A and B are shown apart, each in its own frame.
Chain A
Amino acid sequence: MTRKMIKSAPITRRRVLATVGAGAIVAASPFRINLLQAEETPIKIGFPVPLTGPYGTEAQDQVRAAQLAIAQFNDAGGLSGRKAELVVRDDKLNPGEAATRTLELVEKEKVNFVVGSLSAAVQLAINNVTKERGIIFNSISQSDAINEAADFSKYTFHEALNPHMTSGAVGRYAFSKFGKKVAFLTADYAYGHEMVRGFLEVGKAFNIENLGDIRHPLGTSDFSTLLPRIQALKPDILCISNFGRDQQIVLRQATDFGIKKTTQIIAPLLSHASRVAAGPQAFEGVIGGCSFYWGIEDKYASTKAFNEAFRKMYDGKLPTDYGALGYGGVRTVLSAVKDAGSVDTDKVIAAMEALKYDYYKGPQYYRKCDHQSVQSVLVIKSKSSNMRNESDVFEVLSTDEPNEATLRTCAELGHKA
């Protein structure tokens, strides 16, 4: 009985979400009459994301923005009238759950493509399933391993940044400005480890001194017992490689301990949703990286268009970093479908490889050898004053323009030339 209660909660939420989402699309679409005429089955995109758990807020942003990409595709007539549909599943931030849900999406829902996930380990689990079944998977979460030959397959695409790119951009910015003595506080899983590796790699060029890497389990709610040791190390820079709620809590508690007075805190990835949830006090002065910020709309027409469309669909709300990835991940796949004129896997792969796109953040393309989206990385700082609106939480300090030189080479990743 208790087990039933546990299980029914997410199903209900999921159903509500799906109904609301589908309703919004039908209502928004001027082509809704076509739905009745179209006899063909829709193009289905499976979308496993962690709706429940510490990254739930980010995951909901991903769903919202992905629905926008679907709506735009359908409004533009679909694939000669054939519409697309998003099939959302909760992967609960758990690789096992994600693998099961993905299998279900492929076998039962018969999805044509899979886009999604929000954790390094989870996306690798999904990737294992999709590559075995020959289904294209466009990952919208950070991972280094997914680009490496061992995990990569021709079906694997990576729309998100990877830790090497992110930590590289933030490291290059911070190590030249705030000092050489660096301490690390790291979430003890693939994402954290890969970020630290990236920082140490870029740190070589700046001769940084690694004072130590303190690892904490994912889902830690109190960091007070880890912070005295970090204080004792007296670092110039404290690099915090965790995400979501862990990041919110650790920044808050580090502020309480007075660490910011002597140390510059940097994080490879600052999440918009986390910053909003934790408030300006905790994030004050923290510098980090991100793949997207709505504020770059002054620079890119595509960002402005994306923001406007998102605002229109969601009552004036602005998209977030992970939301944008949901949009980009789905939109690239659907664009490739259109270019290929088919949902045939090999044709779509070829079309994706050929894409030169600018959908939401300036120019991007998928590198041939590892299908990593070559794109810009933003270095941002949390704002605590002069905010224009509730989404105005970051200031863009610098931008690493798209450049294959900031990626690990194909040979380093184990791909044959």
Chain B
Amino acid sequence: MAGLSFDLVALQLFAGLALGAIYVLFAIGLSLIFGMLTVVNFAHGAFYMVGAYAGLYVLMLGGNFWLCLFAVPLVVGLFGLLVERFLIRPLYGRGIDYPLLLTFGLSYVMVELVRIAFGKTGYPFDTPEILQGAVNIGVGYFPLYRLFVIGATAAVLLALWLFLEKTSFGLIVRAGARDPQIVRVLGVDVARVWLIVFGIGTAIAGFAGLLAAPLQGVIPEMGATILAEAFVVTVVGGMGSIGGAVLAGLLVGVVVSMTSLIAPEMAKVSIFALMAVVLIVRPQGFFGRAGLLS
């Protein structure tokens, strides 16, 4: 085996951050929905998968990847709105387990419907031509497309931050998350706020699925694996904390990457080992509020 040169370690660190960016993108939607609506969205992986298939569909209709970047979040977000309005809303106030079971079942239905519509075999999803190949980032070659994913994730985070911190609607969202009762008393339609938040969360999931498609192709089950990993990210970051999801997502990416360098066969386990350690030291995660789940 070649020695651990500085360049290799640096490149490995970078690969970890790039991997982390995908976790972050997936987990922020999950965290947003949980933080605001207290809905543990087990269908998040299915929305992610739908995003990839929606992208495929747009391409089949003759669109290009850049069009997908706008069309897919829109379509998946709208789908999310319908799901919230007609399936999840009737369950508010019945505790955390009802929406959890509903979204769990929903994910099975969605995967099965996609299997019927598109078949069980996967589809290729080519990397857009302009983003193919690798570029030298100083310490070695890194795929251009993964750099694009990092940039896109940063853009989504920035937009989300601006939306939540700088708009009056964002102010209502944050207040609604803290104390929906008071916000309602102030005359705000909280139901509408939650509807939109769920839509945004699913739109981000769809966007993440689209970005992942050129990395691994498209199959109906693609959401299942990442869902487990994303829950680790949200738990480590603190359920419901977007900042926590960002930090934990990057950390998980780096931990996986560094483990891969030393003991590749342990890479998958390292994610769960990290979660165990964090839960022992800080049960609510990095930025989690205690008692959210009770």
Contact = CB atoms under 8 A, between A and B. Distances in A.
Mutual binders A and B: yes
B215 A278 contact: no
A226 interface: yes
A56 B120 CA distance: 8
A417 interface: no
Interface in B179-223: 215-217, 219, 222
Contacts of B105: 2, 5
Contacts of A220: 267-268
Given A217-B268, A232-B2, A257 B19 contact: no
B19 A228 contact: no
B122 to A, nearest CB: 4
A281 B124 contact: yes
B108 interface: yes
B168 to A, nearest CB: 39
Q: Give the dominant DSSP class at A's interface.
A: helix
Contact of B256 (A211, A225, A257): A225
A279 B8 contact: no
Interface residues of A, number: 44
B272 interface: no
Given A222-B216, A224-B18, A225-B19, A277 B121 contact: yes
B5 A232 contact: yes
B79 interface: no
B159 interface: no
Given A220-B268, A224-B19, A277 B217 contact: yes
Q: Secondary structure at chain B's binding surface: helix, strand, loop or mixed?
A: helix
A252 B215 contact: yes
Contacts of A257: 134, 141-143
Contacts of B286: none
Given A217-B265, A225-B260, A256 B124 contact: no
Nearest to A188: B265
Contacts of B122: 57, 245, 248, 277-278
Interface string B137-149: 0001111011000
Interface residues of B, number: 49
Interface in B217-241: 217, 219, 222, 225-226
B123 interface: yes
Contacts of A225: 12, 15-16, 19, 256-257, 260-261, 267
Q: Which of A5, A224, A231, A253 has the most CB of B within 10 A?
A: A224
Nearest to A220: B268
B117 interface: no
Nearest to A234: B2
Nearest to B139: A228
A5 B124 CA distance: 30
A170 interface: no
Contacts of A231: 140-141
Given A225-B256, A277-B122, A277-B217, A1 B101 contact: yes
Interface centre among B7, B121, B140, B222 (most CB of A within 10 A): B121
A188 B126 CA distance: 28
A38 B263 CA distance: 60
B104 interface: yes
B146 A249 contact: no
B250 to A, nearest CB: 13
Interface in A263-309: 273, 276-282
Interface in B234-281: 256-257, 260-261, 264-265, 267-268
B278 to A, nearest CB: 20
A57 B123 CA distance: 12
Contacts of B114: none
Contact of A258 (B19, B134, B264, B268): B134
B217 A228 contact: no
Contacts of B11: 228, 232
B225 A249 contact: no
A215 B264 contact: yes
Contact of B8 (A212, A228, A248): A228
Nearest to B220: A56
A278 B264 contact: no
Contacts of B217: 248-249, 252, 277-279, 282
A60 B119 CA distance: 12
A5 B108 CA distance: 9
Contacts of B19: 222, 224-225
B265 to A, nearest CB: 5
A245 B267 contact: no
A188 B263 CA distance: 12
A245 B256 CA distance: 20
B284 interface: no
B90 interface: no
A224 B126 contact: no
A405 interface: no
Contacts of B268: 217, 220
Nearest to A228: B11
Interface of A: 1-2, 5-6, 9, 56-57, 60, 188, 211-212, 214-217, 219-222, 224-229, 231-233, 245, 248-249, 252-253, 256-258, 273, 276-282
18 contacts: A211-B2, A217-B267, A222-B216, A224-B15, A224-B146, A225-B267, A228-B8, A228-B140, A232-B2, A245-B122, A249-B215, A249-B216, A249-B217, A253-B143, A253-B216, A256-B132, A276-B121, A281-B127
7 closest cross-chain pairs (CB), A and B: A279-B124, A258-B134, A256-B143, A277-B122, A225-B260, A225-B257, A228-B11
Given A2-B104, A222-B22, A278-B124, 14 more contacts: A6-B108, A56-B120, A188-B265, A216-B264, A220-B268, A221-B216, A229-B2, A232-B8, A252-B216, A256-B134, A256-B143, A258-B134, A258-B143, A277-B124
